[in-house]
Amino acid sequence: MILLLCLAPTPGKFSAARATEGTAKRILIVYENESTLFAVTEVSRGLREGLVGDAPTRIELYSEHLDSVRFPGPGHLDRQAQFLAAKYKGIPLDIALAAGPGALLFMLEHRDAIAPGAPLVFGGITDATLKSLSLPADIWGVVSRFDPVGTIDLARRLQPTAKRIVVMTGSSDFDRQWEARARNELTGNYRGLSVEYVSGLTLDGFKDVANRLPADTILLILTILQDAAGRSFIPRDAAAEIAPASVAPAYAVYSSFIGTGVVGGFVETFEGIGIDMADLASQIISGAPPERRTEASTSRPVVDWRQLERWGIGSDLLPADTQLEFHEPPVWERYRFEIIAALAVIGLQAATIAGLVILDRRRRIAQEELALERLELAHLSRITQLGQLSGAFAHELNQPLTSILANAEAGARLLAMKPPDLNEVKDILEDIADEDRRAAGIITQLRQLMVKGEAALERVDLNKAVAATMELARSELVARQTQVDFRREEKELPVRGNLAQLQQIVLNLILNATEAMRHLPPGGREITIETRTLPGGARQLSVSDRGPGISPEMKDKAFKPFVSGGATGMGLGLPICRSIASAHGGTLAFDDHEDAGTRVILTLPPV
């Protein structure tokens, strides 16, 4: 497969100005294996990242895949060499890269035909393979360890009670090379642990062996490119079948195996190998080749966190430089700041809610105290008003008492007669009872106005409340030579209220009206009281006088405490009356009218 990438100027790579500087650098990359192999894709990613990321000039990449593992015959490679030599004839290549030992051997043999005069960079080659070769001076490379010994040492650290090692390899030539290397480095006994080599099986055979291993076994899966049945595999895919079936922890020397079910290994990443190869190639094509012909790729312990959880291996056994893959940190570690922020918000909300609850409780207590104080003040205001009417009340009581006395004396005289006139005596006794009931009614009304306590709301006829108040004030009105014109609505006007407090409003308005007309001649002193139902159903009571009226400035101030238009008032009557009206869900206000005098309107909601 041929992959040609002409890197024209693109955002994030290099500027258009730099891309056009000089001629393009042509780089040929030869991979030993097929393009779909995980290791190949990782090396390719590293090469592209390293070559493209900082390229000072335009780069052209040519990629070729020998696929020599699946097609191992010598004729296949000869045909590949002839094809590539013809393909790149006339295309001057600035450098060639070989990924894998097979690719390196291929380029050593055919470089002059494919990329004549081009320096060569290799990668993915072990030190043992490198020592068996005689390299020309224009070859540089990255030496990989793919370390089975380092991986076994990591496994022994994670499994301190392990008693045996089992090594699995496939049936291809490459697989057999790996088995030979393992036998050479681990032998039959590695640091007191017996070593068993398993090969020449089908994939199902490998899985069956893995499923029957003792739990104290270290399973090392190297490569299985081909099984005994001749089926070809991507080694990573074969490991992904065997490791999950194993009843003992499995390990690998390739980073590409991490995530398939193996615990981990002492590995270098294939992407890192590609980046290191790209770094060497960049130095060479820039005219500053490195002095050292080879450099070692970086290896480190890499472990799958999920497999540690699966096998119950403690993280405290890991080397300090271990790279953890697929690590799911605890919720606290992942969302520490979010949790702290959420708790802070919840805490603030809780404090705010608690504060609001406390404030609401204080508000309700204050409202209750204010209501009690308003009731107390209203009661004191009523007592004051009744005190002002004490003379009138005395006169009202004196009339029935005088009548009772006269009737009693007359009755006594009639009883002294021989014979007594019993019918006349009966009439006199009935008059005495009527006058007594009249006096009792006056006293009852006074007691209702003087009673102290909570304002219980009940159904009250507004017309009857006005009539009862006028009866109380009748003597005072007579004494002040004031006439009252009560224009009531014919039907009942029910409201929900407290009778004593409603009478207090009416009495206050009547007394204010008489006070406003004290300078008028007796014939001009007239109060008009009117009740009616408004279109919306609300009840309205208006009290009008013929006095001098009230100034606009006084209208705004009259309902404020301690503001009085009279010489003797304290300025609390109207404010208290307005608060009573508000407590009943109504309003009390002056009316703007063109007639002389003052008009005050009380509006209350219906029952």
Whether residue 74 is predicted with pLDDT greater than 80 in this model: the reply is: no
Range of the domain at 405: 389-452
Residue 290 forms part of a structural domain: no
* CA 264 – CA 262 distance, rounded (Å): 6
State residue 196 phi and psi, 5-degree precision. Answer: -115, 135
Residue 273 forms part of a structural domain: no
Do 445 and 459 share a structural domain?
no
Mean of the pLDDT values across residues 74-94? 93
CB 605 within 8 A of CB 462: no
Do 420 and 526 share a structural domain?
no
CATH number for the domain that contains residue 484: 3.30.565.10
CB 264 within 8 A of CB 276: no
Do 369 and 319 share a structural domain?
no
CATH number for the domain that contains residue 238: 3.40.50.2300
Band (pLDDT 50/70/90 cuts) for residue 498 is: confident
Domain end position, chosen among 144, 169, 188: 144
Written as one string, the DSSP assignment of 190-218 is ETTEEEEEE-S--HHHHHHHHHT--TTEE
Q: What is the pLDDT of residues 317-340, one digit of tens each?
A: 999 999 999 988 778 878 889 999
Whether residue 381 is predicted with pLDDT greater than 70 in this model: the reply is: no
Residue 278 forms part of a structural domain: no
Do 578 and 493 share a structural domain?
yes
Greater pLDDT, 468 or 262: 262
Domain end position, chosen among 379, 401, 416: 379
Whether residue 217 is predicted with pLDDT greater than 80 in this model: the reply is: yes
Determine the residue type at 153: D
Residue 341 forms part of a structural domain: yes
State residue 5 phi and psi, 5-degree precision. Answer: -125, 105
State residue 28 phi and psi, 5-degree precision. Answer: -105, 130
Lowest mean pLDDT among 12-21, 241-250, 263-272: 12-21
Residue 271 forms part of a structural domain: no
Do 439 and 505 share a structural domain?
no
Do 559 and 444 share a structural domain?
no
- The structure's pTM equals 0.52
Do 217 and 192 share a structural domain?
yes
Whether residue 544 is predicted with pLDDT greater than 70 in this model: the reply is: yes
Residue 283 forms part of a structural domain: no
Do 246 and 200 share a structural domain?
yes
Domain end position, chosen among 400, 435, 452: 452
Do 474 and 342 share a structural domain?
no
> Could you report how far apart the first and last alpha carbons of the chain are, in Å?
95
Helix 462-472 / helix 422-450 crossing angle, nearest 10 deg: 110
Q: Which residues of 352-377 are buried (b: 16+ CB within 10 A; e: fewer)?
A: eeeeeeeeeeeeeeeeeeeeeebbee
Residue 559 forms part of a structural domain: yes
Q: What is the pLDDT of residues 546-586, one digit of tens each?
A: 988 888 778 777 777 766 655 555 566 788 888 888 888 99
Question: Looking at residue 3, what is its pLDDT?
Answer: 33
DSSP code for 72: -
CB 55 within 8 A of CB 14: yes
Contacts by residues 387-390 (CB-CB < 8 Å, ≥ 24 positions apart): 388/476, 388/511, 389/472, 389/473, 389/475, 389/476
Whether residue 392 is predicted with pLDDT greater than 60 in this model: the reply is: no
Mean pLDDT taken over the chain? 85
Question: Looking at residue 54, what is its pLDDT?
Answer: 64
Do 193 and 140 share a structural domain?
no
Question: Looking at residue 454, what is its pLDDT?
Answer: 55
Do 138 and 9 share a structural domain?
yes
Band (pLDDT 50/70/90 cuts) for residue 507 is: confident
Q: Which residue has the tokens 């992942």?
A: 334
* Percent of the chain residues topping a pLDDT of 70: 86
CB 121 within 8 A of CB 140: yes
Whether residue 5 is predicted with pLDDT greater than 60 in this model: the reply is: no
Residue 276 forms part of a structural domain: no
Domains contained in the chain, number: 5
Question: Looking at residue 108, what is its pLDDT?
Answer: 94
Nearest one of 545, 481, 539 to 510, comparing CA atoms = 545
Do 411 and 345 share a structural domain?
no
SS3 of residue 4 by DSSP: strand
